[in-house]
Structure 1
């Protein structure tokens, strides 16, 4: 009986935390307030809306609603597609029309849509980082310190933890680069995990929705944590310990694009993602989480190993980096030795001549 009551209490706490995260993600008015504070932020956010919402989604709409039906009308694949008074075309002619229509569509995709998609992906990566930086600067300029968001004892204790000191000099630079590479690998493997789970029968869609919610929540908050110089291990600890809040925060992000086709989902998500990044940057997530914990003293949800598989794969991949660097160093040393030998040989020949 006690176990049932304990489980019910934990389920209720998780539900409240999920709701807090969901509501926090829906506070999109904060994004507009931040854009009012910073002209650079407003311009960069507007560029994202223009590229992804107007050009990319507009191109997709034009392709599916205008160009493809027009080609289908000009180059029909069956007799019923033509007017009744025209004689039915021979099968070979219809096959030629089908081939020609497919070739024209492929040319449109290759020279227009696919380059636009890649261009949007690359610019999005650069612009989202700029958006987070401008938002962070706008909040600091307006007197709000993101690193000290609460006066509660538990939050204060959380921030008083001594940060991991990076080694000075060049070694510290390499440690920082290593953390960034490891973080990228972690996200790549977790994204692969999301796609793999999606093909599981019956429960695949539901599991994919939950994992995507965590993935987008991590994307949104990672910008803020990187600007706050939060170590990677503390990011993962905080994220996995408070998993209901973050699955709630990521749910609106996924709901906005989950039921569309692949490219439409990307266009919708790429258009709305800056708003969620701004919401996460201006979020007081730690106050909300710890205030909710205060209501449930003695009942802990525990840490959920969300990134367990991605972490193991990242560590294995990352462990090969020193070997690769060592091979590159050996190759460089060998090339230097050969170059020195050739230079000495040519110099001696020139002197003898």
Structure 2
């Protein structure tokens, strides 16, 4: 992988990650148009004598994606983030000023005690409960956004990838598309384990005493992780297992670094992790929209050679070890194929 290819694909990913900011204005119109066309085809088929299930004859009101995005932004940015800003930059300074007026000669350390008590009360009775609640609402809203987009673009960027043998078998046998509950749980737990260890790996790099180099490496980790989160809504709905999803990320690491880079930079801008989490929650729905609008370069299409780069191999090995402790045989083998010819 030469420097030119890396920079070109990183730049493409960066630009495509911003598409969600533009498509938010017309996404509902597009969804309504697609669903209306689909409903008209169903009516036409029925008029031509074809048997159509009754549930397909009912016109379903299209979901409002823009509304879900605005709700997510309002809860995370308008209420939660603004409450933090108001407390620390308006309310707390006013309280300390009033106490200073009332007690012109307070006991030494009194200001620090009040500051700590107010922070504790605010964090315990507002920050933590609201933070947990917003995480739950975000999961529901983000899934609703992805489901609505997937209804009108079920095959989005699926043709871009050559998948593993498991996916090839599914393509050849449609009856294998539906996963059993055990397969769903196994895949979910396995993916969460990989994501967790990869995030720990990024945190370790950020703590190393190498200055800007530690920050760059940690940011690249977060960029890949955020890109994986966004595209995972599509790939999981297409029943791509954890192994396939990692292969797709490794098929063009520069592109996916560029795709997740804007969010990684913004969500690392503040020293307080909770504010960074709010910024992430405000902007991530737009990254989901961008993933559905994106057109990742074909894997293996470079004349410079293979773009495979096994960035997940260390955490995959650890995850395999952890899963091996709890079960002798997993439904999803986690080794990643480094040679694209074997994919």
Secondary structure, in 3 states, of the residue corresponding to 1:198? helix
1:306 alignment partner, one of 302, 311, 317:
311
Preserved contact between residue 242 and residue 303 of structure 1 (Cα < 8 Å)? yes
Q: Which residue number corresponds to residue 326 of structure 1?
A: none
Distance 1:227-1:97 versus aligned 2 partners, 3 A rule: same
Query: What is the CA distance between 1:73 and its match in structure 2?
Result: 1.3
Query: What is the CA distance between 1:260 and its match in structure 2?
Result: 1.8
- Superposed CA deviations along residues 122-144 of structure 1, whole A, max 9, x for unmatched, are 2222221221111111335xxxx
Taking the aligned partners of 1:256 and 1:31, their CA distance within structure 2 comes to 19
Taking the aligned partners of 2:298 and 2:256, their CA distance within structure 1 comes to 10
Secondary structure, in 3 states, of the residue corresponding to 2:19? coil
Distance 1:35-1:321 versus aligned 2 partners, 3 A rule: farther
Preserved contact between residue 166 and residue 172 of structure 1 (Cα < 8 Å)? no
Distance 1:166-1:186 versus aligned 2 partners, 3 A rule: farther
Normalised by the length of structure 1, the TM-score is 0.74
Listed as ranges, the gaps of 5+ residues in structure 1 are 1-6, 77-81, 150-154, 324-353
2:322 alignment partner, one of 317, 323, 347:
317
Show the 5 A alignment for 1:23-102. Answer: 23-28=15-20, 29-36=22-29, 37=31, 38-76=62-100, 89=105, 93-102=107-116
Q: Which residue number corresponds to residue 130 of structure 1?
A: 144
Taking the aligned partners of 2:162 and 2:238, their CA distance within structure 1 comes to 17
- Superposed CA deviations along residues 99-123 of structure 1, whole A, max 9, x for unmatched, are 2342132111110122111211222
Normalised by the length of structure 2, the TM-score is 0.75
Q: Which residue number corresponds to residue 177 of structure 1?
A: 185
Distance 1:197-1:35 versus aligned 2 partners, 3 A rule: farther
Distance 1:24-1:169 versus aligned 2 partners, 3 A rule: closer
Query: What is the CA distance between 1:191 and its match in structure 2?
Result: 1.1
Taking the aligned partners of 1:124 and 1:117, their CA distance within structure 2 comes to 10
The structure that has the greater radius of gyration is: 1
CA-based RMSD of the aligned residues comes to 2.9
Query: What is the CA distance between 1:233 and its match in structure 2?
Result: 1.4
Q: Which has the higher helix share?
A: 1
2:298 alignment partner, one of 267, 289, 296:
289
Distance 1:22-1:100 versus aligned 2 partners, 3 A rule: closer
Query: In the comparison of the two structures, how many residue pairs are matched?
Result: 290
Query: What is the CA distance between 1:241 and its match in structure 2?
Result: 2.2
1:250 alignment partner, one of 260, 268, 271:
260
2:168 alignment partner, one of 157, 162, 170:
162
Preserved contact between residue 19 and residue 289 of structure 2 (Cα < 8 Å)? no
- Superposed CA deviations along residues 263-298 of structure 1, whole A, max 9, x for unmatched, are 22211111010000111023222xx335xx65x42x
